[in-house]
Amino acid sequence: MSKIIVQGTAQGTVLKTSSPINFLGAVDKKTGTIRDQKYDIFEKSIKDTILVFPHGIGSSVGAYTIYSLKSNNSAPVAMICTKADLTVASGCALANIPMIVVSNDEFNSIQDGNKITVDTKSANVFN
Amino acid sequence: MELTSEEKATLNGEHGDTLQTAYRILVATGEATNAEKLIPITWAHLSGVNYNTIGDAGEQFLRELSKDARVKVKATVNPMGIDFDHISEFNHIDDEFIKKQASIRDSYIRMGVEPTFSCTPYDIFDLPEKNTQVSFAESNAAIFANSLGGLKTNKESAFSALASAITGKSPYSDLRKDDISTPMTIRMKMDNPSELDFGMLGFFAGKVGDTSVNISGVSQPNRRSCKALCGGMGTSGTCAKFQFVDTEDTTSEKVDFGKEEMNEVFDELNTAEKGDIITLGSPQLGLEELSDLSKMLKGKSFEKRCMIFCSRAVQEQARALDYINEIERAGGEILSDCCTCLTPLIDTNETDAITTNSIKGAYYLKNSTGVDVNLKSLAKIIEDETK
């Protein structure tokens, strides 16, 4: 069952990682590129994707990174997590990036590279 | 989450854009943590002050916000990137950084925050009575407040604490409530731990723990060690509370922190055998730590540059008590309003490696500043690096 954290509609290609993301340390706030080698999406860009990841970790200032990404037109169009943390939730709320929390089964069902739609007003929320 | 009719009206924009934005953040973080309602808080500690971390978008956001937004409760702020009193001594810092940092500082002051520029608000102010709800974004301060100060806060984000400062409210969830499930117990197996060992214990606990952990096998650590534990824990995960326990309950999961676990943390963060300069302070040093340091430095002098970070309030007290005199005589360089973490005062063109006793400092020096780190306890630093 999906839970809506920040409302909105978006369409995009899924970029999926099994790593929790430290936005302050791991994401280039100008380009949206992952710059920490420890991530399985190293050197990929989260720009314009539907970013699917477990949850955020690390610095509370990561919320500013999410806001900066949006201001630099390098943000994901939506985020899907299995657990909502305060940094990602508040960053998405301020940046107006739709964000939902899904069950582990739903998380597993989302395929990297697929085109999907997130619509927090629809019954399915994502498909 | 249930909102009162007044809160709903504010969320719908009936009291202006600023409060609407603040409520949007509170509702998102409330939904994220399954809060049932908003409750009053009395003190917010804000992060997102260093231009190095929030960048141009953050600077512009705060400049716009501060035209209208005013804090409703006591609000204190994290360190900036630089110490404006000493900036002329650091030629490598460009004017753009100084201008943008000044703008961020001025925006916070315009909103009515107390210009503490410190990650250790608990060293500056008397803490309110036990169980008071606060909203601390700086992780070491949130952990200190929950674990040693008897206060209640979640590990807030920069924006959730800012929204709390402007509204005086926070979602009622997680560590703000009393019914916390039995946390994991970390069994400390190292004898006579130094503050460096406590930092590593914290870093380990933050990685394996969830929201809260028990720690057994520890007796009465001093304040330096407690702060190191809070700093290390806040760096590595989402854990925002610990409690020292004498006897282990039978139901909780047990994890040992012994030689092997400690070496693993050490090897992850220690990347150099010696440093070009020394930094002390992340978290910023308190009065007791400066007093200790001045005693340890009696009759000695640093053999290399040593940057010592403390809050301005603590520096003023320590000057009055003559601690700073002794430290400066020994060659220590006292800096305020900033800290080891993400300060551009460290010139990476001239510095390959830094010696520090701070695990939190080590993590950010390595991953954000991009220098190597040589980890040593304070006692060992004094032994090796002074004459």
Query: How far apart, in whole angstroms, are the C-alpha atoms of residue B190 and residue A125?
Result: 50
Task: Work out the minimum CA distance from B88 to partner chain A, whole angstroms.
Answer: 28
pLDDT at B309: 98
Q: What angle (nearest 5°) sits at the alpha carbon of residue B359, between those of residues B354 and B363?
A: 70
CATH class of domain segment(s) B5-176: alpha beta
Q: Helix, strand, or coil here: A29?
A: coil
Nearest CB partner across the interface for B157, out of A25, A70, A86? A86
ipTM (interface predicted TM) = 0.93
Distance from CA of B150 to the nearest CA of A (A): 21
Kindly list the residues from chain B whose CB atom is less than 8 angstroms away from the CB atom of residue A61. Answer: 47-48, 50, 53-54, 158
B141 in helix, strand or coil? Answer: helix
- Chain mean pLDDT for chain B: 96
Tokens of B224: 């330096």
Within 13 Å of residue A75, how many CA atoms lie on the same side as its CB? 25
* Chain B residue numbers touching A58 (CB-CB < 8 A): 235
Which pLDDT band, with edges at 50, 70 and 90, does A26 fall under?
Answer: confident
Domains of chain A (ranges plus CATH)?
3-119 (3.50.30.10)
Q: What is the pTM of this model?
A: 0.95
Interhelix angle B195-208/B223-236, nearest 10 degrees: 30
Extents of the domains making up chain B: 5-176, 184-267, 271-385
Within this chain, domains B5-176 and B271-385 share the same CATH topology = yes
pLDDT at B180: 63
Taking CB atoms and an 8 Å limit, are B31 and A89 in contact across chains?
yes
- Give the CA distances from residue B143 to residues B13, B14, B40, B154, B317, in Å, rounded to whole numbers and listed in that order: 34, 36, 20, 9, 25
Indicate the pLDDT class of residue B250, thresholds 50, 70 and 90. Answer: confident
Share of chain B above pLDDT 90, in %: 93
pLDDT, tens digit, 9 for 90 and up, residues B29-69: 999 999 999 999 999 999 999 999 999 999 999 999 999 99
The owner of tokens 């009162």 is B4
d(CA B309, CA B299): 22
Query: For residue B369, what is the nearest residue in chain A, using CA coordinates?
Result: A25
Q: Are A77 and A92 in contact (CB under 8 A)?
A: no
Q: Is B225:B192 a contact under the CB 8 Å cutoff?
A: no
Task: Take residue B263 and report the two structure tokens written for it.
Answer: 């070496």
- Read off the pLDDT of residues B330-347 as tens digits, 9 standing for 90 and up: 999 999 999 999 999 999
Give how far B159 is from chain A: nearest CA, Å. 6
Are B29 and A3 within 8 A, CB to CB? Answer: no
- Does B236 score more than 90 pLDDT? no
Can you name the CATH fold of B271-385?
Aconitase; domain 3 (3.30.499)
- Spell out where chain B has E strands: 38-40, 43-46, 74-77, 135-136, 169-171, 184-188, 213-216, 242-245, 254-257, 277-285, 306-310, 332-335, 353-356, 372-375
Chain A residues with CB under 8 Å of B157 CB are: 60, 62-63, 85-87, 89-91
Please state, as a whole number, how many other Cβ atoms lie within 10 Å of the Cβ of residue B263.
12
